[in-house]
Amino acid sequence: MTREQVRQAILNIISDIAPDEDLASIKDEEKLRDQFDLDSMDFLDIVMELRKRFNLEVPEKDYQELVSMASSVEYLFPRLKDNELVS
């Protein structure tokens, strides 16, 4: 996956777990928690979706890397670059 595809993969996950959100307006540098009121249950869902879709384990100490879109791409790109984008 390219960086852009990793970003798309994260967007796909967020749009699945928060179907009412308009993600076109997402600000990559801003905290997801603040933009969409994502709580710990939602972050757990993101982590579980990453495992389900890409077989990727995010250890708990790394959860903080998923704080914004930009930091998530930064963290996930090296780990996902050999994966294919799935919906």
Partner 1 sequence: MKYDVIILGAGLSGLAAGIRLALFDKKVLILEKHVEVGGLNSFYTRKQRTFDVGLHAMTNYTPKGVRTSPLGKLLKQLRFRHDEFRLCPQEMSEIRFPGKALRFTNEFEFLEQEIAEQFPSQIDGFRKLVARIREFDELNLDDSQRIPSREVLEACLTDPVLIDMLYCPLMYYGSASEGDMDFYQFVIMFKSIFMEGFAKPVGGMPYILKLLVDKYQGLGGELRMGAGVEAIEHKDGALQSVHLENGETLTADKVISSAGAIETLRLCRPAVIEESNLETGQMSFMESIFVLDRLPKEIGYDKSIVFYSTEPRFKYRVPSGLTDVTSGVLCCPNNFQYPEPSSEGVIRLTNQANFGLWDGMTRSDYRAAKKEYRERGVNALLTYFPDFSDHIIYIDSFTPKTIFKYTGHLNGAVYGSPTKIKSGRTPVKNLFICGTDQGFLGIIGATLSGISMANLHILQAEAKSETGRN
Chain residues that interact with partner 1, rule: CB under 8 A? 16-20, 36-37, 39-45, 47-48, 52, 60, 63
Residue showing tokens 């930091």: 71
Q: What is the largest CA-CA distance in the chain?
A: 31
Residue (48 or 70) nearer to partner 1, CB: 48
Residue (38 or 81) nearer to partner 1, CB: 38
Residue 9 Cβ vs partner 1, minimum distance, rounded to whole Å: 17
Residue (4 or 14) nearer to partner 1, CB: 14
- For residue 73, CA distances in Å to 20, 24, 31, 65 come to 23, 17, 13, 9
